[in-house]
Amino acid sequence: MEFLYEYGLFFAKAITIVLAVGAIVALIASSAIKQGAKKGELEITDISEQLQDIEDEMTHHLLNKEQLKEKEKQDKKAAKEKEKAEKAAAKNKSDEDEAEYEPKLFVIDFKGSIDAKEVSALREEITAILLVATEKDEVFVRLESGGGMAHCYGLAASQLDRLRQAKIPLTVAVDKVAASGGYMMACVADKILSAPFAILGSIGVIAQIPNFNKILKKNDVEFEQLTAGKYKRTLTMFGENTDEGREKFVEEIEEMHELFKEHVAENRPQLDIENVATGETWSGKKAIEVGLVDEITTSDDYLCQASKQSKVIGIKYATKKGLAEKLSKAASLSAESFLGKLWQNNRIFPS
């Protein structure tokens, strides 16, 4: 009986603590929602500066003291000459002339999931760029996706198309994979780069659905499904599918495939769309032969070259964890620690 009493006391204390922690977290979450807590913010990275720091560090390790002094001397001389030339150019320009403009290369990373939920951040990044970019700038997207839901990737492609509509040059680099929905996005670009062994293509549509109707029948389980509209549900997981339903489902898939083909053909008119819209994929080296990409290179090589002519800037919309989420995790760990101590102190198992 003493064991049961101690166990009951321990359980009561534990439940009280957990409920109290839950109530506190709920209050904080409610307060955060009412105050309209900010979901995320832009993170801007000077990639040009990062690359320059790497170059300087490598140079420092490779050159001896005399060579370093000579290099520093030459760098200072070059900097002075550049400054002098800029001042002279500015002096010779009339008030109506434009000031010297340094082109910018805005870099975005998109690593897509099946439902392309990353489009929420993408739309924020695109909007930020459109507010400041000009036609002299360029947007560079490092894209990685094996595809997913057609309507989700359609929205992602539309976000990239906003850049095209604004006449801002768009380059997409595929280091690993841009298949199906991934290529739906990539084909919007003015130029597509691919690593030699990257996977591209898969211009097709697939749908799969299991059916458990025979298992249900075998176990005398009835399944009812009520719909309004002849084709509200064409195929079902638990009911008995019909040939008419299958035909309608295939018709819908074919319609989506045609939309996909039209989208690719519109953005890359040089393609033989019937030749590449078979659902198959190609490696980068083969993809350039069939016209899916324009150049074989990696994103790293492109950025290193671009940094010599443009200011390279990384743009990322980062979603911050809310206060409620942070406190919830902290509370969970604290509760776990407390319960562990309570367990030890009560010693509910007799020694």
Q: Provide CATH code, domain 41-59+101-207+249-319.
A: 3.90.226.10
| 333-339 average pLDDT score | 57
Decide: 150 and 114 in contact? Cβ < 8 Å.
Answer: no
Residue 286 corresponds to which tokens in the numbers above?
């083969």
DSSP 315: E
Q: At what angle do helices 150-165 and 119-132 cross, to 10 degrees?
A: 0
pLDDT tens for 269-328 read 999 999 999 999 999 999 999 999 999 999 999 999 999 999 999 999 998 766 655 665
For 281, the 3-state DSSP assignment is strand
38: confidence class by pLDDT, cuts 50, 70, 90: low
Return the closest-CA partner of residue 176 out of 204, 200, 155, 201: 200
Token pair recorded at residue 17: 């603590």
| Model confidence pLDDT, tens digit, residues 65-76 | 787 788 778 878
Look at residue 44 and give its three-state secondary structure: strand
- How far apart are alpha carbons 244 and 246 in whole angstroms? 5
Residue 86 banded pLDDT, cuts 50, 70, 90: low
What does the buried/exposed string (b/e) look like for 269-283 if buried means 16 or more CB atoms within 10 Å of the residue's CB?
A: eebebeebbeeebbe
Q: Which residues are catalytic?
A: 180, 232
Could you give the CA distance from residue 333 to residue 339 in angstroms, rounded to a whole number? Answer: 10
Q: What is the pLDDT of residue 107?
A: 98
Q: Is the dihedral of CA 107, 113, 116, 119 positive or negative?
A: negative
Cα–Cα dist 252/256, whole Å: 6
H-helix segments, the chain: 2-34, 47-62, 65-92, 119-132, 150-165, 181-186, 213-218, 243-267, 273-276, 284-290, 299-306, 323-346
pLDDT of residue 95: 45
Q: What is the mean pLDDT of residues 99-111?
A: 90
% the chain with pLDDT above 90: 58
Q: How confident is the model at residue 80 (pLDDT cuts 50, 70, 90)?
A: confident
- Quote the CA–CA distance of 98 and 107 in Å, as a whole number: 26
Higher pLDDT, 109 or 61: 109
Answer whether residue 334 shows pLDDT above 70: no
